[in-house]
Structure formats: C-alpha cells, structure tokens
Amino acid sequence: MLRIHRFAFIACLGTLASFATAHAQDENAPADLILTGGRIVTVDAGFTIAEAIAVRGERIVKIGTVDEIAKLQGDDTTVVQLEGKMVIPGLIDSHVHPNGAAMHEFDHDIPDMQTIDDVLKYIEGLTKTRDEDQWIWVSQVFITRLREQRFPTRSELDKVAPNHPVVFRTGPDAALNSKALKLSGIDEDFKVVGAGHLERDPATGKLNGILRACTRLIKSGDTGGKKATEEDRQDRLEALFRDYNSVGITAIADRGASSSSINRYAGLLEQNRLSVRVSASWRIGTGGSVESIQKNIREVGNHPLHRRHDMLQIVGIKTYLDGGMLTGSAYMRKPWGVSKIYSIDDPRYRGVRFIEDEKLVPIVQTTVEEDLQFTAHSVGDGAVHALLDAYAKVNETTPIRDTRPCLTHSNFMSSEAVDQMIDLGVVADIQPAWLYLDTRTLQAQFGYDRLRYFQPLATIFRRRATAGGGSDHMQKIGSLRSINPYNPCLGMQTTITRQARWYDGQLHPEEALTRDQALRFYTQNNAYLIFQEENLGTLETGKLADMVVLDRDILTCHVDDIVETKVLATYLGGKLVYERKE
C-alpha cells in the first residue's frame, strides 16, 4: 500500500492547485507565460484558432490576438515568439501500459522482428548469454505482423535453442519448444482444464508446441538478465514519460494498473518527476468467486486516489472479456472461419470469452455502485455486444451513464453497437495503430466486407458517441519503434487516411475522420474518457495550460506528412517539460 504521507502530499497539491487557480483568475496580474504570433488551435466547440495565449500559474488566463495578449505582459513574463507555428492542446493517450513497457529493454536492446528468421536469430543469440536452465521469452511479436503470418514451429525453436526452454508468446497464445513443454509438464497425454487448447500437427497428430488461450499452463523459471531495483523502475518510467512528452503527450490512461504501479506514480509525483498526468484503471482479475471479485472492486472504490485529481487519479477498473484479434482468439458474433494463419480448423470457432453473463453483470453492477468506470478488453464484436448487453442490464436498476462505462479496443463493432453506446452513455478507447499494422492480415482472414465496422470512427463521431484515441503501448521506449507505436501523429494520420502498412488502398474510407475530428480524438474526447474535460482537452480560459508546439500545421500539410510532425515544445500546466534540440 502507499505510505500515508504520500496521500497527504497529493492532498496538499490539491490545496496548492486551488490557490494557483485563484491567482490565475486575478485579471490584474501579469501573465507568467505568453506564446504569441502563431496559430493557437483551441479545439473548443467552434474550433477557434487564435494568435496568442497567456498563462498564469498553471492555467490559461486569456486567448486572443497578439495585441490583446500583449497587454498581459509584465517584467517577469516569459514570452515565446511562435513565428507562425501551430499550438495544440496537450495530447492524451487513452490506453497505455507504461510500467511494463519502460522495463522491456532494461536488460538488453531488442531488435525489430518482421520475419520468422528475425525471431530465430534473436533467440539463438540469447542462448549464448543465458545458462541452459534459464528461460528465453519473446513476447508480443505478433504473428499478424510477421511476413510469414505464423508462429515459429516447435522444430524451428528446437533447432536454434535445443537446450534452453523457449516461449514465443503473443497475448494468451504461445509457441513452446520441446524443453519448455517438458518443464511445464505438458506431454502428449496432457488435458487442458478450462479455456484454451493445445494444437497438434495435422500430419502427425502430435503436439506442435502451440498453446491457444492457455499460457497459464507454462511453468516458467528464471530468465536470467539484470535484476531491477525500485530506483531502476522509477528512472525507466521517468525516461518513458519524457519520451511521451517529446511527441506531445501530457496525459495518459493506464489501462491495467496495479498497486505497485500506483505506488510508483505517487513516488514520482512526490519527487516532482511526473511529467504526464495519470488516470488509472485498476486491473481486476475475474477468477474465483463473484463475492471475492466484488470485494476487490470495493477496495479500489475506497482507495484514497479514487477522487478527481489532475495529476494522479484512479478512475475505474479493467478486466479481460475476450482474447485478441492478433492471436485468433477475439470473441466474435460469427465464426472466425478455418484459418491457416491462426491455425483454426473448427468452422464453428468464434474465439474465447473469459467472463460469462452470470459473473459479468454483478461485476459491472458493483463497479457502478462504487462510482468507478468499468472497462474490459473487448476486441471482437461478440465481446463488444456482450459488454453492452451487460451495461444495459445493470442500467435497468442502476443508472450507469455518469460512470462513463467504457469499451476497450472494440475493434470489431456494428451499427447497432454504436447506437447502444449512445443510449447508455458508453465511451470507447480505440487504437488506430492496430488498423495501421494489422489490416493486411485481417482482410486475408475476414475479407473486406466483414471489416465494414472495424474501428468505425466516422460513424461514432457522426452519431455523437464518444471515442478517444490510444496506442496500447506495451513494450519499448520510442514512439515509432514501440509495440504498439505511441506516436499520436501516426494515430491521427491513420484515422484520416485509413491506410495500413503492407496494404494497398484504404480500409473502408467511409469511416475516415476529418483532421479536426482526428485532433479531437486525441484531446477533447480523451479528456472526457478520463473525467478531466473541465481541466484538459481544449485550450480555453481557466483550463490547465497543457500545450504542444508543432513544426507544421497538421490541419493543412500534406496528409502523408502528418506522421513526420516534430514537437518543438511541450508544456504541462504552463511548465516546459520538453524542448526539441536541433
């Protein structure tokens, strides 16, 4: 648990923020910071574009023309001449996993892997630095993103690592070599209890090393490598957050927080090292009895950080309702179809669902009663509709709208699902990087027509539902080299073009966003998702001065150049947290 003095510290910050707000509202005081001579894109209701902006303390005190803002300049005012550059609100990522991502390369750099040969060479290299009893794990190198679109085989893994246990894991699925299978107690007679199954070679009938939706069976041991201290973890997390700042990110939603990660955020805040605002969804396991799950939810509801705070807050809980589209386990309304890519041989297979209605509904009910936002990993349209139906059931007796219940990922949707979102006040956090990286494989599996409502952003905007943009960043530091890439400009460009890597044409261009909408997707909409619309998401008088200066006008530049945008400066509450050095 967090130490009490950390909570006292955070409460003190709230008092200081109130003082700063009162100071900011003193119209006679000079501004502390002025940005002038540019294009200030406010993203307000009218999408106003101004010339200058003034900040006092942490908050915006005035937006207007160069002459209007010049009247607020004092002897100690810092004045930044924009020279025509664009300023936008601080960007918000609605879905990240920063603690794990920051530590992913703590031991050694991990190369980009785009082919099976890349994977095998990497594993072979690790065998030279690991003792034979140490496990080798390769995680989240998704088969949909490999040229061959398949898992490495058991024999391929055995060839490069005959004496080391090896696991190639992608979400709930994995490919194991012979030694890893043996150490996990998995042999030809092994029977899976619960969800998932073991794949077999169609020619020989023997285990091929692939575990579907049952990586829980792996009995992993020591993986070797450097051991991280808490100081290491804080330093790495701070470095990641500074990299977030370098691409304009000033606020995030951690969609899978634990007590240790909450502690870490609070520690950075206490040390004045937290350079992004954090809203956390506490990860809740759904194994065991309903009563035990409800108890855990109530504990989160009683946590001292479950209150509105602009730097660090717990907004809700996160669970997992289905598998993933990258591993062939997302829960669909119609069968996946027989697939060589995903090794699916059952024509009736619809994916994996982890929480049935008799458990899901009371879990949602308790979450709403605790005034927490519920969200669940819901990738397939079967999972999306199941969660929406659970929300509707709870809403019959307990209004849910004010808790802003959420759909996480919701890649496969439908027209009816969007309507139900509107009726219930449900929001969604969606990751355009999945469209960019995975369309080639998805169309090969499902065909173009079945992807009609894959990330239907234009429909969501047109019908006035609310969805916000995220990355699902889970590994590596680096906005374009990470898994998944967290560069918001790549996300915005993808929502506008609906174009994907290794894919010709556009995926249902009728669902493309306008540039204005793409910017709202990462600012105003995300602020609403994390209950911070009164403070963040737009540049308006009285709001926190989270601002980003760009090297180009992303509303008018060539659409293919949006991803090349460089952030020149990022401000958090009027404080410069990143400045680009040429």
Rounded to the nearest 5°, which phi and psi values hold at 182? -65, -45
Return the half-sphere exposure (C-beta side, CA atoms, 13 A cut-off) of residue 323.
26
What is the C-alpha separation between 2 and 11, in angstroms, rounded?
Answer: 14
Quick count: other Cβ atoms within 10 Å of Cβ 172?
Answer: 22
> Whose CA is closest to 377, among 171, 522, 527, 218?
171
H/E stretch holding 51: strand 49-56
Name residues whose C-beta falls within 8 Å of residue 556's C-beta, 6 or more positions apart in sequence.
none
List the chain residues with pLDDT less than 70.
Answer: 1-26
Token couple for 23 = 């100071």
Structure confidence by residue, pLDDT tens digits, 328-368: 889 999 999 998 888 788 899 999 899 999 999 999 999 99
Structure confidence by residue, pLDDT tens digits, 538-557: 999 999 999 999 999 999 99
> Whose CA is closest to 92, among 472, 410, 527, 404?
527
Return the half-sphere exposure (C-beta side, CA atoms, 13 A cut-off) of residue 565.
30
Rounded to the nearest 5°, which phi and psi values hold at 327? -120, 5
Residue 413, classified by CB atoms within 10 Å of its CB into exposed (0-12), middle (13-18) or buried (19+), is buried
Token couple for 266 = 């609070």
Quick count: other Cβ atoms within 10 Å of Cβ 494?
Answer: 30
Sheet holding 166-170, edge to edge: 136-139, 166-170, 173-176, 207-212, 197-200
498 by DSSP, 3-state: which?
Answer: coil
CB 231 within 8 Å of CB 239: no
Alpha-carbon dihedral 115, 120, 123, 127, rounded to 10 degrees: -160
Amino acid at 339: S
What is the C-alpha separation between 487 and 247, in angstroms, rounded?
Answer: 6
Rounded to the nearest 5°, which phi and psi values hold at 29? -80, 145
Termini Cα distance of the chain: 43
| CA 249 to the chain's CA centroid | 12
Long-range contacts of 283-286 (CB under 8 A, 24+ apart): 283/256, 283/257, 283/258, 283/317, 283/318, 283/319, 284/317, 284/318, 284/319, 284/363, 285/319, 286/319, 286/320, 286/354, 286/355, 286/359, 286/363
Calculate the alpha carbon distances from 341 to 115, 153, 441, 566 in Å.
Answer: 14, 13, 8, 37
Token couple for 551 = 């090297």
3-class SS string, 135-183: CEEEECCCHHHCCCCCCCCHHHHHHHCCCCCEEEEECCEEEECHHHHHH
> Whose CA is closest to 211, among 223, 194, 236?
194
CB 446 within 8 Å of CB 337: yes
CB 123 within 8 Å of CB 166: yes
pLDDT at 14: 53
Token couple for 77 = 């005012």
What is the C-alpha separation between 240 and 264, in angstroms, rounded?
Answer: 13
How, if at all, do strands 373-378 and 406-409 pair? Answer: parallel
> Whose CA is closest to 322, among 339, 337, 336?
336
* Residue in this structure with the two tokens 């829960």, named with its chain if needed: 331
Structure confidence by residue, pLDDT tens digits, 215-232: 999 999 998 888 999 999
Calculate the alpha carbon distances from 218 to 81, 136, 152, 168 in Å.
Answer: 58, 12, 17, 11
Would you give the DSSP letter of residue 509?
A: G
Name residues whose C-beta falls within 8 Å of residue 70's C-beta, 6 or more positions apart in sequence.
34, 36, 52
- Write down the H helix ranges in 315-380: 357-369
> Whose CA is closest to 554, among 87, 241, 131?
87
Amino acid at 360: L
Calculate the alpha carbon distances from 283 to 6, 71, 262, 293, 336 in Å.
Answer: 22, 49, 11, 11, 28
Phi-psi region of 330 (alpha: psi -120 to 50; beta: other; left: phi over 0): beta
